[in-house]
């Protein structure tokens, strides 16, 4: 397969994954049935696996991959270090000491969202 075709396939996987991430957010926000939730999660994760296998085909793809993973790492640092502090501060300020209200599943989803956001921002900046 030619390098240009591999790059096009890689970008297609990234776009499909990003659209599926939006579908996951909508499915959980609007309380869709379990089949649609599972399908959208699967469609979100499969492109990540394909992209991971073929992540360093050339320098351009490597740059896009690193932009996405860097932002995903920053999101994880935020979720695990800053977000609990902000939640505790808010709970103390309002007197609502109900404990941890942020679901643990949010961390992984935010990392995937951050990956696709970083990937696509770098991709859009590279088009100029």
pLDDT given at position 51: 83
What SS3 state is found at 1? coil
**Tokens 């404990």 label which residue?**
99
Q: Is the dihedral of CA 14, 67, 42, 101 positive or negative?
A: negative
CA dihedral sign of residues 105, 20, 41, 45? negative
Say what the pLDDT of residue 37 is.
Answer: 87
Question: Which tens digits make up the pLDDT trace of 101-114?
Answer: 677 778 888 999 99
Phi-psi region of 96 (alpha: psi -120 to 50; beta: other; left: phi over 0): beta
How many other C-beta atoms can be found within 10 angstroms of the C-beta atom of residue 112?
21
Q: How confident is the model at residue 23 (pLDDT cuts 50, 70, 90)?
A: very high
The span from the CA of 4 to the CA of 43, in Å, is 24
pLDDT, tens digit (0-9, with 9 covering 90-100), for 79-92: 888 888 888 887 77
* Least confident interval from 20-24, 33-37, 49-53: 49-53
> Residue 53 pLDDT more than 90?
no
């Amino acid at each position: 397969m030619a390098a240009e075709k591999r790059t096009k396939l890689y970008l297609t996987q990234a776009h499909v994954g990003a659209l599926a991430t939006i579908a996951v957010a909508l499915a959980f926000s609007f309380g869709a049935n379990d089949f649609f939730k599972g399908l959208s999660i699967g469609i979100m994760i499969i492109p990540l696996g394909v992209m991971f296998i073929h992540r360093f085909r050339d320098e351009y793809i490597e740059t896009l991959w690193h932009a996405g993973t860097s932002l995903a790492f920053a999101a994880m640092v935020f979720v695990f270090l800053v977000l609990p502090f902000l939640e505790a501060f808010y709970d103390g300020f309002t007197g609502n000491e109900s404990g941890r209200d942020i679901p643990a599943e949010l961390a992984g989803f935010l990392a995937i969202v951050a990956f696709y956001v970083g990937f696509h921002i770098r991709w859009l900046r590279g088009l100029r």
